[in-house]
Copies of this chain bind each other. A is one copy, B any other.
């Protein structure tokens, strides 16, 4: 069994969303699974001194045009959300809950949360909204809502975010294939060729 593809992302990342819609089918072509690794991009920005793309001078106005255009290019539904960016502790912790309690539902859970924010404009920074979205998939709303406020999941997300930083993750999406790192939805074409040729 080939190694899984590791997918690091923040739930407030438009390009994380775009790549998330593609990564599992891409991995499946090679009989690979995806390890979903939500982390807090805000903690990374403290290390890099960077900030959310739309807030940067010059790059900001461009990115507000590039993001929906890139979505249209890929044929993925996208509505620029307001508020943006949002805190993503709640959905990120909830995904680690899903990993522990219903691991076979994790891809569906990631995509449902991303769509709730980037298509339907729902503010998933709210633990209630995150729990509502996952309940619509048949997951246990009350358990999730309780768990995301408890110390165990808080510590899990802190540790995962630190692990990501220690590994050099500086943006979202950040994908690792057989030890090779790829940053950005615009490296999906390279990611797709990498396992086919054993690197290039």
The chain A residues found within 8 Å of chain B, CB to CB, are 44, 47-49, 56-59, 61-62, 65-66, 69-70, 72-73, 168-171, 181-184, 186-187, 189-190, 193, 200
Q: List 10 A-B contacts (CB under 8 A).
A: A44-B58, A47-B58, A49-B57, A62-B168, A65-B181, A72-B200, A73-B190, A73-B200, A186-B187, A189-B189
The distance from the CB of A167 to the nearest CB of chain B, in whole angstroms, is 10
The distance from the CB of A195 to the nearest CB of chain B, in whole angstroms, is 14
Which residues of chain B are within 8 angstroms of A59 by Cβ–Cβ distance?
48, 170-171, 183
Which residue of chain B has its CB nearest to the CB of A169? B58
- Complex CA gap A66/B184 in Å reads 11
Is A170 touching B70 in the complex (CB atoms < 8 A)? no
